[in-house]
């Protein structure tokens, strides 16, 4: 060998040390054929995958499922003057979705780029001109937020003054308010919505729509005959993934859907609605001097003020319906927006108080079964406040099932007839999703490409929708505002709100009366 090397050296030095002879050039370019083979193989792989993907997608008729890539500007029209009724934590988020942020640090946060997503919101051309809140501290915060001069989407401040109203009745009587956002505890929702509709104010109301039957029916009739735009606060359907899920279901990829399982699992004190202590364990602010307790109670039984009741009202049936009202409402809305299941024929709830044995009335473990015999469908809601195991939300069909959360996975059924061919060929496998969509993709990868392969094989995945992350609540409120200006019916309209209201009241009645209850569709009542 050495001998040969020496020979080479001699050859090269004969041609002059720096002269590039043929052999030297070949040695220098030895990587070229490797790169050539690499490129060729890469080309082969890419075209193979494209062909596979497109033929599979074509077969499923899913070539064009995609979400809107850009945010539409808000409809043109006059300034809408909004009154906020109730200004707790949720109202702060709603104000932000309307385009109002507390001015403190906003300029700095904009400069740092922290608010890019917010700034990308559409300018809704609204002004928050009224705040109604029983707690002085929160009312003050509301006034400051409403008076903020920063606007997303290139909007300009209206310059209108912001007024604090002593009661919602006073606000509803004011002709300078066009629309109200209701973010009070649940026991006020129906009453305020009804009176707002009668006063001709458009209503955006947080869930639940109502927690008593008589109020729900009155709400429905009043809104139906009023001509106002009513939007129930379930922003979930504005998630792009939901629109894609709807496409997939409409294309009948899942086959016949007979079972839907929705769940809630939480395992924290805050998740169990113990929220009256700050992070140091001291009671949060508020007393009878700063809180209008009588107004807070409304028409509910008079009880002495307690910081526990004020912050943790969810624990008592006087003020809401516990997990059914706070959490299942979102689940029901998600399913109802997807499948239009409507009001069930029967509901059966069981559960109890097994873990958070404080002074609460609401159960911390609850299971509701809703039957839809005409649709050949059962909807289950199962909730637990003492385990954070994620059980997801699953729609089960005889050909495939769909797990739907922030992302979406469709997994073929082992015994599917429709996909039997592909299952036999191994094109798809029941052990991994055949289709997955993750708009905020956190696809896993490492340098050992097996993990990449592992996730790649899970099927097709589309990227986030558009370039920006958008607050779905903004989209939901924008829909409401657009409907006020341009007509039309928003997704969370009074029909959907009524269906949801009846469904949760059926489940609640079943829990309290420990029996199966029925919906009498003819006489429109729960029996």
Partner 1 sequence: MKESIYSTKQLSALVAVRFLIGWHLLYEGVYKLYSPAWSSQGFLSESQWIMSGFAKWIISNQEILSVVDFLNTWGLIAIGLGLIFGLLTRIATFSGIVLLLMYYFSTPPLIGLEYSIPAEGNYLIINKTLIEAAALVVILVFPTGAIIGLDRFIFKKK
In the set 55, 267, 290, 449, which binds partner 1 (CB under 8 A)? 449
Min dist. Cβ of residue 54 to partner 1 (A) = 15
Q: How far is the CB of 53 from partner 1 (least distance, A)?
A: 13
Q: Does 390 bind partner 1 (CB under 8 A)?
A: no
Between residues 41 and 376, which has the closer beta carbon with respect to partner 1? 41
Please identify which residue in 58, 340, 443, 525 interacts with partner 1, judged by CB under 8 A.
443
**Residue 34: how many CA atoms within 13 Å on its side-chain side?**
6
Sign of CA dihedral 442, 491, 265, 280: positive
Contact residue for partner 1 among 447, 467, 514, 522 (CB under 8 A): 447
Q: Do 382 and 350 form a contact (C-beta atoms < 8 A)?
A: no
Contact 319, 313 (CB under 8 A): yes
Contact criterion met (CB below 8 Å) for 237 and 337: yes
Phi and psi torsions of 490, nearest 5°? -75, 165
521 counts as binding partner 1 under rule CB under 8 A? no
In this structure, how many other beta carbons lie within 10 angstroms of the beta carbon of residue 427? 15
Q: Which of the residues 204 through 263 are near partner 1 (CB under 8 A)? A: none
Q: How far is the CB of 267 from partner 1 (least distance, A)?
A: 19
Q: Which of the residues 8 through 37 are near partner 1 (CB under 8 A)?
A: 8-9, 12-13, 17-18, 20, 24, 27-32, 34-35
Give me the DSSP letters along 44-89.
HHHHHHHHHHHHHHHHHT-TT----SSPPPPPP-S-EEEEEE--SH
Nearer to partner 1, 114 or 354 (CB): 114
Smallest distance from the beta carbon of 437 to partner 1, in angstroms? 10
Q: How far is CA 29 from CA 20, 22, 23, 333, 489, in A?
A: 12, 11, 10, 64, 68
* CB of residue 407 to partner 1, shortest distance in Å: 11
Question: Is position 388 an interface residue for partner 1 (rule: CB under 8 A)?
Answer: no
Binding segment for partner 1 among 76-84, 121-129, 155-163, 450-458 (CB under 8 A)?
450-458
Joined together, the tokens standing for residue 341 give 């299941």
CA 128 to chain centre: 24
CB 262 within 8 A of CB 381: yes
- If one asks whether residue 515 binds partner 1 (CB under 8 A), the answer comes out as no
- 41-70 residues in contact with partner 1 (CB under 8 A) are 42, 46
Shortest Cβ distance from residue 518 to partner 1 (Å)? 44
Residues from 309 through 348 that contact partner 1 (CB under 8 A):
none
Q: Which of 21, 38, 169, 457 binds partner 1 (CB under 8 A)?
A: 38
The string of DSSP letters for 269-322 reads TTTTT--SB-TTSPBPS--TTTB-HHHHHTTSPP----HHHHH-GGGSTTT--H
- Which of 227, 406, 442, 487 binds partner 1 (CB under 8 A)? It is 442
Among 22, 64, 69, 113, indicate the residue that binds partner 1 (CB under 8 A).
113
CA distance 117 to 519: 44
Residues 459-478 that bind partner 1 (CB under 8 A): 461-464
Quick check: 441 binds partner 1 (CB under 8 A)?
A: yes
Q: Alpha carbon 390 to chain centroid distance?
A: 16
Specify the DSSP element, H or E, that contains 519.
strand 517-520
Minimum CB distance to partner 1, residue 30 (Å): 5
Give the interface with partner 1 as residue ranges (CB under 8 A).
1-2, 4-5, 8-9, 12-13, 17-18, 20, 24, 27-32, 34-35, 38, 42, 46, 113, 438, 441-454, 461-464
């Amino acid at each position: 060998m050495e001998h040969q090397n020496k020979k080479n050296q001699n050859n090269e030095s004969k041609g002059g040390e720096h002269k590039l002879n043929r052999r030297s050039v070949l040695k220098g370019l030895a990587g070229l054929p490797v790169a050539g083979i690499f490129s060729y193989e890469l080309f082969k792989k890419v075209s193979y995958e494209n062909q596979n993907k497109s033929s599979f997608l074509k077969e499923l008729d899913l070539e064009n499922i995609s979400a809107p890539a850009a945010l539409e500007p808000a409809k043109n029209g006059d300034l809408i003057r909004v009154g906020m009724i109730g200004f707790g934590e949720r109202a702060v988020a709603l104000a932000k979705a309307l385009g109002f942020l507390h001015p403190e640090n906003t300029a700095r946060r904009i400069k740092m780029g922290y608010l890019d997503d917010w700034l990308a919101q559409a300018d809704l051309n609204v002004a928050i001109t009224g705040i109604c809140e029983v707690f002085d501290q929160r009312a003050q915060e509301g006034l400051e937020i409403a008076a903020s001069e920063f606007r997303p989407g290139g909007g300009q401040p209206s310059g209108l003054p912001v007024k604090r109203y002593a009661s919602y009745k006073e606000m509803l009587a004011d002709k300078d308010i066009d629309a109200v956002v209701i973010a009070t505890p649940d026991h006020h929702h129906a009453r305020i919505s009804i009176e707002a509709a009668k006063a001709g104010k458009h209503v955006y109301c947080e869930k639940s729509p109502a927690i008593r039957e008589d109020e729900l029916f009155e709400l429905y009739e009043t809104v139906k005959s009023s001509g106002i735009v009513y939007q129930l606060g379930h922003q979930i359907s504005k998630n792009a993934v939901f629109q894609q899920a709807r496409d997939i279901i409409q294309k009948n990829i899942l086959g016949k859907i007979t079972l839907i399982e929705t769940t809630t699992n939480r395992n924290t004190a805050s998740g169990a609605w113990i929220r009256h202590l700050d992070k140091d364990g001291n009671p949060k602010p508020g007393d009878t001097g700063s809180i209008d307790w009588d107004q807070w109670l409304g028409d509910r039984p008079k009880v002495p003020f307690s910081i526990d009741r004020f912050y943790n009202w969810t624990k008592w049936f006087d003020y809401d319906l516990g997990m059914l009202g706070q959490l299942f409402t979102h689940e029901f809305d998600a399913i109802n927006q997807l499948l239009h299941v409507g009001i069930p024929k029967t509901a059966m709830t069981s559960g109890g108080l097994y873990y958070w044995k404080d002074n609460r009335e609401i159960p911390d473990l609850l299971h509701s079964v809703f039957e839809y015999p005409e649709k050949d469908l059962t909807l289950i809601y199962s909730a637990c406040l003492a385990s954070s195991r994620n059980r997801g939300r699953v729609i089960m069909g005889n050909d495939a099932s769909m797990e739907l959360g922030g992302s979406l996975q469709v997994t073929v059924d082992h015994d599917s007839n429709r996909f039997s061919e592909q299952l036999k060929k191994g094109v798809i496998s029941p052990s991994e999703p055949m289709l997955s969509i993750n708009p905020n993709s956190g696809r896993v990868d490492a340098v050992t490409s097996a993990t990449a392969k592992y996730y790649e094989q899970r099927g097709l995945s589309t990227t986030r929708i558009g370039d920006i992350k958008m607050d779905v609540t903004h989209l939901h409120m924008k829909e409401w505002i657009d409907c006020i200006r341009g007509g039309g019916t928003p997704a969370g309209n009074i029909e959907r709100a009524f269906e949801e209201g009846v469904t949760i009241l059926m489940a609640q009645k079943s829990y309290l009366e420990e029996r199966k209850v029925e919906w009498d569709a003819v006489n429109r009542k729960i029996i």
